[in-house]
Amino acid sequence: MSPERYQRIRTMLAKRQTDLTVCLENVHKPHNVSAVVRTCDAVGIHRVHTVWEQKYKLPGGTAMGSQQWVRQSNHDTIGDALSHLKSKGMQVLVTHLSDTAVDFRSIDYTKPTAILFGQEKYGATDEAIAMADQDIVIPMLGMVQSLNVSVAAALVLYEAQRQRDIVGMYDQQQLSEQACQEFLFEGGYPRLSRMCKQKGIAYPPIDDSGQIAADESWWQQMQLSPKAMAALKADESS
């Protein structure tokens, strides 16, 4: 990894927001999912959460846009997802037109926040709306009553980014060094990262110049085939 790429990744990681996230409920069109994840990357979101009922599951191998730089957590149900987010102390907002909905710009996004976007045609489920802390809307003056989900996500997320930038939240690193090291290795050495996953080998540390700081035993393990590595681990555990 070149020093320039190392510094670029480090700069990105230093601005990642661990207490701002998006939850996609049954958003199933690949281009929409990819567009939302790309916006998440652009505003510094570290992790997105997804829930897909069986009929909405994405085809295997479907890319999630900037997934290399944005972590994903998938949940079996929307109840599981929102309970998890609330356990992290996050306010849960849902884009939903109701009598209690407020303009999305009136929300304080400097608080730990999760923003829920529902399925393209039908929106968020009743369960999701009931569990959310606040309904939000994007004011619209034309004949249509909704925007494409990826457009709506971009508008809300950039308002969150604007507020957080004003108070300096992008000036303080939130990610742990361990998480940064994982991103640095995967982003700087993607082929070796894939090999580590195949063989079950722990990632090595990355030094301040972007180079792998591994001992000889790590390099020796990397030379082994996955089968030989599995046999070695079996011998060590016996």
- Read off the pLDDT of residues 74-115 as tens digits, 9 standing for 90 and up: 999 999 999 999 999 999 999 988 889 999 999 999 999 999
| Same-domain pairing of 93 and 159 | yes
Structural element, H or E, at residue 51: strand 47-51
CA distance 124 to 2: 44
Band of the pLDDT at 62, cuts 50, 70, 90? very low
Answer whether residue 50 shows pLDDT above 90: yes
Answer whether residue 177 shows pLDDT above 90: yes
Average pLDDT, the chain: 89
Neighbouring CB atoms inside 10 A of 112's CB total 16
Count of domains observed in the chain: 2
* 147 labelled ligand-binding: yes
Judge whether 2 lies within some domain: no
Answer whether residue 141 shows pLDDT above 60: yes
| Same-domain pairing of 113 and 203 | no
| Same-domain pairing of 83 and 138 | yes
Residue at a domain's end among 147, 171, 195 = 171
Answer whether residue 30 shows pLDDT above 90: no
pLDDT for the residue numbered 59: 55
Residue at a domain's end among 126, 147, 171 = 171
| Same-domain pairing of 211 and 154 | no
Judge whether 46 lies within some domain: yes
The pTM score is 0.86
- Tens of pLDDT, residue by residue over 180-201, are 999 999 999 999 999 999 888 9
| Same-domain pairing of 58 and 158 | yes
Residue at a domain's end among 155, 171, 187 = 171
| Same-domain pairing of 159 and 199 | no
| Same-domain pairing of 162 and 190 | no
- pLDDT higher for 4 or 61? 4
* 155 labelled ligand-binding: no
Band of the pLDDT at 58, cuts 50, 70, 90? low
| Same-domain pairing of 144 and 84 | yes
Judge whether 8 lies within some domain: no
| Same-domain pairing of 212 and 196 | yes
Q: Which of 112, 77, 118 is nearest to 98 (CA)?
A: 118
CA distance 130 to 100: 12
| Same-domain pairing of 40 and 90 | yes
Q: Which domain holds residue 45?
A: 17-171
CA distance 175 to 19: 10
Answer whether residue 65 shows pLDDT above 60: no
* 18 labelled ligand-binding: no
